[in-house]
Structure 1
Amino acid sequence: MTSQITRAIVTGHTRGLGAALAEQLLTRNIAVLALSRSRNATLAQRFPQMLAEVELDLADPSRVAQWIAGDALSRFVDGAQSVLLFNNAGTVQPIGPIEGQQASAIATAVGLNVATPLMLASAVAAASGTATDRRIVHISSGAARNAYAGWSIYCATKAALDHHARAVVLDANRALRICSVAPGVVDTNMQAEIRGSGVEQFPMRERFEELKRSGQLTSPEQCAARLIDFTLSDDFGQTPVADIREWAKQA
């Protein structure tokens, strides 16, 4: 597939899994349009011709909608045969029981975790251009498929991505593949946030502390490589919801 002209959009590319995704796509000679609140100076210096960055508050759906209404996305994908979208940006906050959640934090999480990925997915599907192969990757979570105390907002927003993918498949768009992919437990700043929360907010905190202590967290680089390999494979889109660890075992 990479012998074709392939271009990728990545959200949240300044750190963690998003940074690893952007770097590895660029290393594979795939041009990247990166959307985040800030820029990644290291990647910009290494890949000045291949990386385009847009500073955008992805937690503000109105600003995202305004950007989509412009022509930046269409110009980026113009001439590509294959377009990839990695909806990576997300937040685990607010952590804690429902009565302690701030309304503004809930709105931010829904905007970043749900509204923006769904709007970008629609925009990629609708973008003018020659791409006959468009692949949308929602970065989901095990929390989409299992409920956890203290994570009601995170669980709900990630479950929304899973169900979105299931419904989009029913649209039967031949030029579009979509999958909501759980990446496993990745050693990112989000994991540090989880370990930093109080047990009263997140009763399963000790489990995540043990995963860190015992070296069971996957590195962002290893996870990114698996996600890209999966996205570029013929397996991608065969099911609307997947776990990258299960695919890696079978690949």
Structure 2
Amino acid sequence: MTGSTTTPLTRAIVTGHTRGLGAALAAQLLDRGIEVLGVSRSLNPVLAKRFPRTFKDVELDLADTGHVAAWIAGDTLRGFLAGAARVLLINNAGTVQPIAPIEDQQAGAIANAVSLNVATPLMLAAAVAAASVEASDRRIVHLSSGAARNAYAGWSIYCATKAALDHHARAVALDGNRTLRICSLAPGVVDTGMQAEIRSTGTEQFPLREKFDDLKRNGQLATPEATAAKMIEYVLSDAFGQTPTADIRDIRDLSAA
């Protein structure tokens, strides 16, 4: 969909916006006339060229919580959100590593995953909520996974970190803030670099790897673009936030608000 279909006072922050699902989400929000601030460890020159007036991005290592905290304390986030009637935060950035049994997991890799998958999304959620108190409609999206709700051998860190996002959304929903909605949303299996990373892992590290090989071989992976379209339709709908955890594959026939 192209053109301004929502109020120009809608602004969105998307993490991990340089490739895969994050890039598709940012592009489709911009196509709808929504201003986007991308935050990632690299920039997206393609979106900057296509949307010079409504897109800006920040180069930030989201696994470095000290740098994230310093950036939050600055003026960029507050300045971007100032005056917005509707605010969206999509915590898309994440890592599936380390993929390994517990005795083969390195401390540094565990710390990196917990920082990127949990600490930074929670820090950004709190910062966006605080910086957007004047907005009448605030929506926070955590990118969840089936791994948050089902345990898999070799994925103990990924499962734990995604489950943390689910439980954070459940607890925040209990705050009862009428202008803030939150959902930890699983996008299904999407044909991204993360899927390629999973398929490159040995079965001794991840016993279910062959299942993911079959998904790719049989054309059962959704495209980032198709998944982004479904997610945005849901995020902008009146149904968003009615449940704090959801799977996009279970959601049907929604119209964007």
TM-score calculated relative to the size of structure 1: 0.98
Indicate whether 1:164 and 2:168 are aligned: yes
- Residue 202 of structure 1: aligned partner: 206
Cα pair 2:28 2:229 within 8 Å, conserved: yes
Residue identity matched to 1:141: S
- Residue 177 of structure 1: aligned partner: 181
Indicate whether 1:48 and 2:80 are aligned: no
Give the Cα separation in 2 of the matches to 1:38 and 1:250.
Answer: 33
Give the Cα separation in 2 of the matches to 1:128 and 1:46.
Answer: 27
- Residue 106 of structure 2: aligned partner: 102
Give the Cα separation in 2 of the matches to 1:154 and 1:180.
Answer: 15
Q: Deviations over 1:54-109 (max 9, x none)?
A: 00000011110110011211110111100000000000000010000000000000
Choose the corresponding residue for 1:214, options 215, 218, 227: 218
Residue identity matched to 1:208: F
Cα pair 1:149 1:203 within 8 Å, conserved: yes
Deviation at 1:174, TM superposition (A): 1.2
- Residue 15 of structure 2: aligned partner: 11
Identity of aligned residues (%): 72
Cα pair 2:11 2:88 within 8 Å, conserved: yes
Cα pair 1:57 1:63 within 8 Å, conserved: yes
Residue identity matched to 1:165: A
- Residue 248 of structure 1: aligned partner: 252
Choose the corresponding residue for 1:151, options 147, 151, 155: 155
Give the Cα separation in 2 of the matches to 1:41 and 1:161.
Answer: 30
Choose the corresponding residue for 1:227, options 210, 225, 231: 231
Secondary structure of the 2:215 match is helix
Deviation at 1:41, TM superposition (A): 1.1
Give the Cα separation in 2 of the matches to 1:194 and 1:3.
Answer: 39
- Residue 67 of structure 2: aligned partner: 63
Secondary structure of the 2:251 match is helix
Give the Cα separation in 2 of the matches to 1:250 and 1:230.
Answer: 6
Secondary structure of the 1:9 match is strand
Residue identity matched to 1:153: I
TM-score calculated relative to the size of structure 2: 0.95
Q: Deviations over 1:114-147 (max 9, x none)?
A: 0000000001110056311100000000000000
Give the Cα separation in 2 of the matches to 1:172 and 1:128.
Answer: 16
Residue identity matched to 2:140: I
Give the Cα separation in 1 of the matches to 2:231 and 2:161.
Answer: 20
Deviation at 1:243, TM superposition (A): 0.4
Secondary structure of the 1:211 match is helix
Indicate whether 1:131 and 2:135 are aligned: yes
Cα pair 1:79 1:129 within 8 Å, conserved: no
Give the Cα separation in 2 of the matches to 1:63 and 1:164.
Answer: 22
Give the Cα separation in 1 of the matches to 2:6 and 2:181.
Answer: 16
CA RMSD of aligned residues (A): 1.2
Cα pair 1:77 1:129 within 8 Å, conserved: no
Give the Cα separation in 2 of the matches to 1:188 and 1:197.
Answer: 15
Deviation at 1:248, TM superposition (A): 2.8
Give the Cα separation in 1 of the matches to 2:254 and 2:151.
Answer: 27
Secondary structure of the 1:35 match is strand
Contiguous gaps of at least 5 residues in structure 2: none
Contiguous gaps of at least 5 residues in structure 1: none
Secondary structure of the 2:216 match is helix
Give aligned pairs, total.
251
Secondary structure of the 1:34 match is strand
Give the Cα separation in 2 of the matches to 1:156 and 1:88.
Answer: 16
